[in-house]
Amino acid sequence: MCGIFFSVAKNRHILPDQEAVDALHARGPDSYKVLKSTYHGDSDEKLHLTFISSVLALRGANIQQQPLHDPLSRSVFCWNGEAWKSDGVAIEGNDSAYIWHLLQISLPHSPERQHRITQVLSQIAGPFAFVFYDAPTATVYYGRDRLGRRSLLINQGDNGSLTLASTSTSTLGKSAAPSEISTETIHFLQFSGGGMIRGKLPWASAPYPINKSLPDTQIATLPSQQSVDDLLTHLRRSLILRSVDIRDHSHPQMTGDSAKVAILFSGGLDCTLLARIIHEILPPDEVVDLLNVAFENPRSLAAKGSVQGTAYELCPDRVTGRSSFAEICEVCPQRKWRFVAINVPYTESIAHKPMIMRLMYPHNTEMDLSIAMALYFAARGQGELLKVHSNVCSEPIPFLSTARVLISGLGADELYAGYSRHAAAFSREGFRGLADELEMDFNRIGSRNLGRDDRVMSCWGKEIRYPYLDEDFFRFSLDLPVWEKAGFRPGKPVPKHHEATGVARNPEDLEPAKMLLRLAAWHLGLKRTATERKRAIQFGARTAKMEAGKGRTKGTDILTAAA
């Protein structure tokens, strides 16, 4: 994880304001570097280019400082991401240096140069955002991976100046408002004379298609065991990339008992399945932190007549989290699992709200805030542990997780039909409607979620990784026929969202949403977890509608300055 800032202006070098500097340092606490350059065109005017990178070092033996700079060509590279593979080949060591090398060997002054640069970027598997100044052609290339798993915002000033940054900045004045860079293309700035031309380049690879085939006959059986086995194989490979070989002692507070990996742990199906598979990958003596967040919600407490002391333990995600924690400890007793109970008082959530709103911007709805608030405090990792001696729990003790890599289950619902609207689509139009709904959800996942989540969670010097959004895994998932992903079947009733289903006695009794993932959990011994139903984070952690007067607020309502 890194922070990127780039600016171009006619009259002077534009540096980030102090708020933006602090945000860049927070994203990348291991290194911070400024590099200035100028472009002299045919006219007397010149353009002032400023490149800044901060670095969170997670790969390679040493800290790779950025921006990367070639003194001969004067080209510059700022990289924020993880290139797991390039052209299908796994990348070992530092990925930023590897991609920089590939970009440097692009054919100089050749008509194929731009095509080569596009190819290099299109063949990367992994989350990334980048700024690459190709000085010989006076061109700045920039963008985000096609899913938008890393943040990059653009600001256009009235005087022709422009900035690109990982976080929002007010450098160009109040009249300039940032927007997220589209993931549909690679973008570029071509300098000419004293001005610049903005353009777009298509990705060199095809879009990700979804299998929309329909069955020849009525499907009545569960997804096949072969599909379960294949899913687990692909998910293990994805998790190996994201949980192994994390740089040792990358956090100044790390001790021998510190975790390198933490899981955002609601206790739901998606995250608990990831925890179960990680157990098979990491050495048995390596600790894994399970981060479970719960909020004091005054409206919920008043409505239920609850007392303040029970606010956190009665949160739905806390109840589910403790249940799934107990099950994974039963199934994998050799591992030291730490259940980190992150309890957020109402006063603390209100105190941090202005910061959260700045980080998530330009996303600015009530739903954005309730989701971002839960992710923000979960990523911080500050909570408490219950120590157990002779099977007796002691009083909670304060704890701060030092894991710099956070594993998220995001993407499973979009791939395997986990939302209630997927059941509704099947009820209306069968497998055809379900496939259309899944296609829409997957195609918009970057614009709806990922840039916002990256800005909100990385402010703690943490990197969020999404095993379900691994390129090989989601290609496998998209290629599956829809009846192999979900258990929706003609004539089989779908339970309503509010209906309790109880613990299934056999796989046939499992809820149809995300059936293939449920069967995978069942296969690995997580039978209680396989029964768990989908619950949105803002309701599970109780961040939705916390304040008085918010009872009739809709998630799509725009936040006001006083919100």
- Burial of 115: CB neighbours in 10 Å, binned 0-12, 13-18, 19+: middle
Task: Read off φ and ψ for residue 243, nearest 5 degrees.
Answer: -130, -10
Q: How many CB atoms lie within 10 A of CB 160?
A: 14
402: Cβ contacts below 8 Å, ≥ 6 apart: 251, 253, 254, 258, 259, 381
Distance CA 323, CA 317 (A): 10
* Cα angle 126, 127, 131; round to 5: 115
Q: How many CB atoms lie within 10 A of CB 70?
A: 14
b/e sequence 524-539, b meaning 16+ C-beta within 10 Å:
bebbbbbbbbbbbbbb
Active-site residue, from 2, 271, 332, 459: 2
350: Cβ contacts below 8 Å, ≥ 6 apart: 547
- Give the three-class secondary structure for 280: helix
Distance CA 152, CA 149 (A): 10
Strand intervals (E) in 337-446: 337-344, 382-389, 392-400, 405-407
Query: Does residue 2 carry a catalytic annotation?
Result: yes
* Cα angle 412, 414, 419; round to 5: 95
- Give the three-class secondary structure for 209: coil
3 state SS for 484-500: HHCCCCCCCCCCCCCCC
Please list the active-site residues: 2
